[in-house]
Amino acid sequence: MKVVQHVALGFVAGILLSACAAEPVVGTPAAEKEMAVSLHHQAKMVASRIQADRSVSGYQRPYPEQVKTSRDRFESVEQNPVHRVLETPVSTFSSDVDTASYSFSRRRLAAGQLPEPQAIRLEEWLNYFDYDYPTPENAQQPFKPTVVVTDSPWKAGNKLLHIGIQGYELPPTTRPRANLVFLLDVSGSMSAEDKLPLLKQSLTMMLNDMPDDDTVAIVVYAGASGVVLPPTPVKEKSKILMALNQLQAGGSTAGGEGIQLAYQLAEANFDEKAVNRVMLATDGDFNVGITDRNALESLIARKRKQGIYLSVLGFGAGNYNDHLMQTLAQNGNGVAAYIDNLNEARKVLVTEATSSLFPIAEDLKIQLEFNPATVQEYRLLGYETRALKREDFNNDAVDAGDIGAGHSVTAIYEITPVGGTPLISPSRYDTEPSKLRAEKADEFAFLKLRYKLPGEKASKHLETPIPAHNTAVDEALRHQETAFATAVAGAGQLLRGSKYTGDWTLDDAITLAQGNRGDDMYGYRAEFVQLLRLAKGLD
């Protein structure tokens, strides 16, 4: 293993030295000189590390594949509680279009194991799938909300409020150029076939679909960080692929140092007319360099404000730090995805590349005010890590999730209407909201959206009441799209061990999902049904 480490570090050192001699950095003369000096310094650091490692006779670093017990790390979060409308009428949260939780759970099930309960985030399961929501007509009002009310399948008398927010799809002719820096983990823990080899295949697939005028740079980190490819137009694809395919795994993981270097390269080649983004690909094992979570968050947030975003691609299992990856992506206004196979790579990096790379709106916040005349209590399914305070909704300084072109956001509330059986007993001193009952008896809630168009400081907002009955457009959606979303949300709750699903079972979820797969062009919904059958056998 030590030989592999030395080969990898020697390769990085050689690339760094050759980059200094032969590959000028695009930018101003001052920036070129500064970067050349930096590259030379990094090459010396790598060479120094090789000598230091060789001086320790017989030492071998314990790589994660040698560890029998999984060290995958997830944030433990309590599921959202039930709220009484008279006490807490307003619910506020940030949008989320990450999907890492679903694909990681799929990997677990395919391996014959139930996913850890804390690994299941309902919002990421819901938003893994596309839904046939009506689309907005222009980029100036990039969202079109759709609300559907259905019966809850797991508690008689309760209702589910399905909120679908469809983002505007950018026409290919108006898509901005992509200016990307791939920040790749080539540490020893990435040697497994489902890590660095899969990463290289995934990025090759992405490159084959990118326009010629996009640019790509590659930064690696493994004990020390280095630039293996300066910004290069995609039309020079063979040059990019050569640098990518020669990468080997070995060394520890100086993740923090790698992020700093990637941002330095992105800043030196910043294009205000392009989308400037760092794409971090790793198994999440940051054990050398800047490991303080607050310091990393601060760095990424500062760069986000300068217009350089960060997305995260997770690979492999055994030491996957999901918690850290989620934190970095949220602070970088990027997507956190988990790549467990080539089909997922195609989904994230090719089929959904436009929505992952090109934002149509920033800081999307969602707020519902429930009507005490018609609703006794409610709970939001998922979005626990995206909760916002009520006052955060109107505060443009509070960060929230960004939405890419064509992305949709799905959220589901379960409500207990007035007259139903609540989980929380009424207070002795509750007052009857008679005036509201008379004036707004036809509304369950009032939906508000707040967002910023890319590059703007002031937010815009949309508002719409949620009627206590379904309209014609609701009827067209409820029989398929909302039914499938209900199956996903219900199954996620069951596998997470929710206390709110009553006697509902995985068999019920399978039946509901199987009957509402729709067109299913890529087979994602059919695959979901098969995963539930696996889960049923394991359970």
CB half-sphere exposure, 82, CA atoms < 13 A = 17
Of 108-117, 295-304, 413-422, 463-472, the poorest mean pLDDT is in: 463-472
Q: Do the Cβ atoms of 133 and 476 come closer than 8 Å?
A: no
* Amino acid in position 459: S
| Residue pLDDT, tens place only, 459-515 | 999 999 999 876 656 565 668 999 999 999 999 999 999 999 999 999 999 999 999
pLDDT score recorded for residue 61: 30
- Residue 497 CA to residue 510 CA, distance in Å, equals 17
State the CATH architecture for 87-171+359-420+434-468: Sandwich (2.60)
At residue 434, does pLDDT exceed 60? no
| Residue pLDDT, tens place only, 213-224 | 999 999 998 766
- Residue 261 CA to residue 341 CA, distance in Å, equals 28
- What token pair was written down for 460? 């815009």
- The predicted model gives 433-447 an average pLDDT of 73
At residue 393, does pLDDT exceed 70? yes
pLDDT score recorded for residue 461: 93
Query: Where in the chain is CATH 3.40.50.410?
Result: 2-57+176-357
- The predicted model gives 225-238 an average pLDDT of 93
pLDDT score recorded for residue 187: 86
Top CATH class, 2-57+176-357? alpha beta
Q: Output the average pLDDT for the chain.
A: 84
Query: Where in the chain is CATH 2.60.40?
Result: 87-171+359-420+434-468
pLDDT score recorded for residue 75: 84
What is the chain's length?
Answer: 539
Of 43-52, 97-106, 134-143, 409-418, the poorest mean pLDDT is in: 43-52
- The predicted model gives 402-411 an average pLDDT of 93
In this prediction the pTM is 0.84
* Cα dihedral sign, 466-467-473-479: positive
